[in-house]
Structure formats: C-alpha cells, structure tokens
C-alpha cells in the first residue's frame, strides 16, 4: 500500500492481545485525523507469547473496524519505524491510559525519533470510560471465567469464553 502524496497515513501499532474497546476508541478517533489509518498488529516477539495467534488478533481487529472505510489492518514483524516508513506513514498513534503508559511510550518515541526523524508519535488519551481497560487485565478476568463483555467486542468475548472453557477441560 502506497499512499498518494496528498494523503496523510498513520499507523496504530500494538499487539492487540486481545483488542479492547479502549483500543477501538483510539482507532476510531485516530481514523478521523488521518486519511488512512493502518492498524499494525505486532507479532509480540519482544514480549511474552501472546494468547491469540497473529492471525486471530488480526481477524478480531478487522471485524471490529470493518465500518471504518479508511482503516486497514496489517501485520508487523520488524522495527515499527521501518514498517511506518515502508507504508509511507507520517505518524504513529499511541493510546495512553495512565501516566505510567506515558513514561514507557515517551521513551519509545525518543528511540523511534532517533531511528526515523520523519515519523511523529501522536498520543491520544484514553476516553475515561476505557481508561482502566488493559489487554492483560481482560485476559486475567477471562481466564477465571469472569465477564469481559463490557471491555471487548462480542467476537473477542466469545473467543475468550471458548478459550477459558477449553483450558478448564484440559487443565
């Protein structure tokens, strides 16, 4: 995908393991700021092994953003700035839930700026109703059979319930 010279493309990278309503809120808001927004689902190589495969995570995101005409979903398995450059992005959009997120994201923005001066980092604060939701929290509650329907799209809630049932019967 190569954007036209008159178009502003941004990426919204993350593991999305799983995608939450907080992620989707940031994606929807960012989609109004750019001509094209590419949600780049990372393999998660530098973190612990994700619960869902990259294919599952991409499908969850794709189903959830299908109503947004200017949003595309792709995978990411390289330095995020190299990925952004290949796509012709002018910015990376990151959501922030709390000041602790900012500390980490600010450090990453400085590293990324050093690696590629042409890519800006844009922060969107979480909407208050989603500011406490994290993928790790969702996974933890779901693993214990707790309700997560208010925090994730329906397709993700169903997948989490199915995963919990399988692990309960095999565990």
71: β partners: 37
Three-point CA angle 114, 117, 118, nearest 5°: 150
pTM of the model: 0.91
Alpha-carbon gap, residue 93 to 102, rounded angstroms: 13
More confident residue, 131 or 46: 131
pLDDT tens-digit map of 14-37: 999 999 999 999 999 999 999 999
Q: Are 126 and 25 in contact (CB under 8 A)?
A: yes
What pLDDT band is residue 59 in, cutting at 50, 70 and 90? very high
The stretch 69-90 carries a mean pLDDT of 96
Taking CB atoms within 8 Å and a gap of at least 24, the contacts of 95-101 are: 95/22, 95/23, 95/25, 95/26, 95/123, 95/124, 95/125, 95/126, 96/123, 96/124, 96/125, 96/126, 97/22, 97/126, 97/130, 97/131, 97/132, 97/133, 97/134, 98/131
Q: Is the pLDDT of residue 170 over 90?
A: no
Q: Are 115 and 52 in contact (CB under 8 A)?
A: no
Alpha-carbon gap, residue 70 to 170, rounded angstroms: 42
Q: Are 98 and 131 in contact (CB under 8 A)?
A: yes
Superfamily for domain range 9-131:
HUPs (3.40.50.620)
More confident residue, 6 or 138: 138
Judged by average pLDDT, the poorest of 42-51, 72-81, 150-159 is: 42-51
More confident residue, 106 or 1: 106
**Whole-number pLDDT of residue 165:** 81
Indicate which residues carry an active-site annotation.
23, 47, 97, 135
Q: Is the pLDDT of residue 148 over 60?
A: yes
């Amino acid at each position: 995908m190569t954007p036209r010279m008159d178009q502003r493309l941004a990426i919204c990278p993350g593991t999305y393991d799983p995608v939450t309503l907080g992620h989707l809120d940031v994606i929807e808001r960012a989609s109004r700021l750019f001509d094209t927004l590419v949600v780049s689902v990372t393999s998660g190589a530098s973190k612990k092994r994700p619960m869902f495969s990259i294919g599952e995570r991409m499908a969850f995101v794709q189903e959830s953003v299908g109503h947004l005409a200017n949003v595309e979903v792709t995978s990411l398995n390289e330095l995020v700035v190299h990925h952004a450059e290949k796509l012709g992005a002018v910015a990376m959009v990151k959501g922030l839930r709390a000041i602790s997120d900012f500390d980490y994201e600010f450090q990453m923005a400085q590293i990324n700026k050093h690696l590629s001066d042409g890519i800006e980092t844009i922060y969107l604060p979480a909407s208050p109703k989603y500011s406490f939701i994290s993928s790790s929290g969702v996974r933890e509650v779901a693993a214990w059979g707790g309700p997560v329907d208010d925090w994730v799209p329906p397709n993700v809630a169903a997948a989490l319930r199915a995963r919990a049932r399988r692990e309960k019967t095999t565990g």
